[in-house]
Amino acid sequence: MKIFALSWLAGLSIMLLAAQPARAALSVLACEPEWAALVEEIGGDRVRVSSATTAKQDPHRIEARPSLIARARSADLLVCTGAELEVGWLPLLQRESGNARIQPGKPGYFEAARHVTLIDKPQIVDRSMGDVHAAGNPHIHLDPRNIARVADALAARLAQVDVANAGHYAERNRDFQQRWLAAMARWEARGAPLKGAPVATHHKNLNYLASWLGLKAVITLEPKPGVDPSVAYLGEVLARVKDRPVKMILHANYESPRASRWLSERSGAPAVELPYTVGASAAARDLFGLYDDLLARLPGALK
């Protein structure tokens, strides 16, 4: 009888434990798709992540709509680029959310740009110069070395806000770093023929990619950052390109291809549309796919 009672109690305990709801996943709102993808790599099934922007949007310019504010209101962690990339909409989102966890300076607010070295820092900042970022170029995710650095910092922050799963985040980050390092070696080997090639870019959002691969970004199609080029200005660009030819004319998928095509038709250099972030093409389903696609398009265009 005693043995039966003990067995019955043990069975009841197991049933009660099974009936308990699983611990809710950490709610993460990423400002851009690349950071949502990185959170998924590090967090796995311990996170529930969404992105405030899509691959078809210019991350500089979105609206903090009520639906987005509602998502921010319930977020445990907000992961953004920083370096003024989201300056036009993020402060409003944080303020209107009323969520104390994701305010600047709090553990629930993470800025990726704080963990890498920024390029293109202007010596003088004047709004008449266009969309200039005082801290430097914020498009950091297009250098895979930056992704690795941000991943380390992000794993540590996830562990800080979700202490119970700290070991899980550390283990997944170690696995990610190993896979990422191996992929980087593959990408760099494929991109070796690009080194030294002069290119034109629509905007400076591809400068980190160019720097990593050794491309020489010699001219931009915009007269000022964030200002669409006129036909008259493109005529000036064409004159410069004829004096100093470029191998490719690059633009991101969310940018209008008109200026690149105009210059391509008159200069003979191919216009190449590049996926800017995760989700920008069928191949760019995650961070690995994004770089696989980039390194498929660039060497092919050069040939």
Q: Give the chain's end-to-end CA distance (angstroms, integer).
A: 83
286 has pLDDT over 50: yes
Nearest to 199 by CA among 272, 139, 130: 272
Residues 79, 136, single domain; the answer is yes
pLDDT at 13: 47
Q: Residue 212 is part of which domain span?
A: 191-302
Task: State mean pLDDT over 4-31.
Answer: 60
The DSSP symbol for 128 reads G
Residues 255, 261, 262, 264, CA torsion sign: positive
Query: Of 186, 214, 233, which one is at a domain's C-terminal end?
Result: 186
Q: Give 9's pLDDT tier (boundaries 50, 70, 90).
A: very low
* Amino acid 132: pLDDT: 66
Q: Tokens for 49, please give them.
A: 């992540």
Do 128 and 225 lie in one domain? The reply is: no
Does the structure show a pLDDT above 70 at 86?
A: yes
Q: What are the start-end ranges of the E strands in the chain?
A: 26-30, 47-51, 77-80, 109-111, 198-201, 216-220, 248-252, 271-274
pLDDT of residue 95: 97
**What six digits make up the tokens of 183?**
């992929």
Considering the domain architecture, whether residues 33 and 115 belong to the same structural domain is answered as: yes
- What are the structure tokens assigned to 193, written together? 């023929």
> What does the pLDDT look like over 196-242, one tens digit per residue?
999 999 999 999 999 999 999 999 999 998 899 999 999 999 999 99
168 and 230 both lie in a single domain: no
Say yes or no to pLDDT of 302 above 90.
Answer: no
Residue 138's alpha-carbon distances to 6, 128, 143, 148, in angstroms, are 63, 19, 11, 16
Percent share of the chain, pLDDT over 70: 88
Task: Provide the number of structural domains found in the chain.
Answer: 2
Instruction: Indicate if the pLDDT at residue 20 is higher than 90.
Output: no
Q: Is the pLDDT of residue 249 over 90?
A: yes
Residue 23 has pLDDT above 80, yes or no: no
The confidence band for 121, taking pLDDT boundaries of 50, 70 and 90, is: confident
Average model confidence (pLDDT) across the chain? 91
Q: What CATH number is attached to the domain comprising 264?
A: 3.40.50.1980
199, 233: one domain? yes
> What does the block give as tokens for 241?
């390109």
Same domain, 111 and 240: no
Strand-pair partners of 271: 249
- Asked if the structure places residue 182 within a domain, the reply is yes
Last residue of a domain, one of 131, 158, 186: 186
Asked if the model's pLDDT at residue 243 lies above 60, the reply is yes
Contact 52, 62 (CB under 8 A): yes
Is 110's pLDDT higher than 80?
Answer: yes
Indicate whether 7 pLDDT > 60: no
Which residue, 205, 194, 209, is CA-closest to 299?
194
Domain shared by 221 and 102, yes or no: no
Say whether pLDDT at 8 is over 70.
no
In-domain check, residue 5: no
In a 10 Å sphere around its CB, with 0-12 CB exposed, 13-18 middle and 19+ buried, how is residue 69 labelled? middle
Establish if 1 belongs to a structural domain. Answer: no
Q: Under a CB-based contact definition with an 8 Å cutoff, are residues 89 and 63 in contact?
A: yes
Tokens of 196: 């030294």
Task: Judge if 55 and 175 occupy the same domain.
Answer: yes
Least confident among 21-25, 30-34, 35-39 = 21-25
Please report the pLDDT score of residue 242 as a whole number.
94
* End residue of a domain, out of 186, 205, 222: 186
d(CA 262, CA 280): 23
Q: Is residue 196 part of a domain?
A: yes
Indicate the pLDDT class of residue 61, thresholds 50, 70 and 90. confident
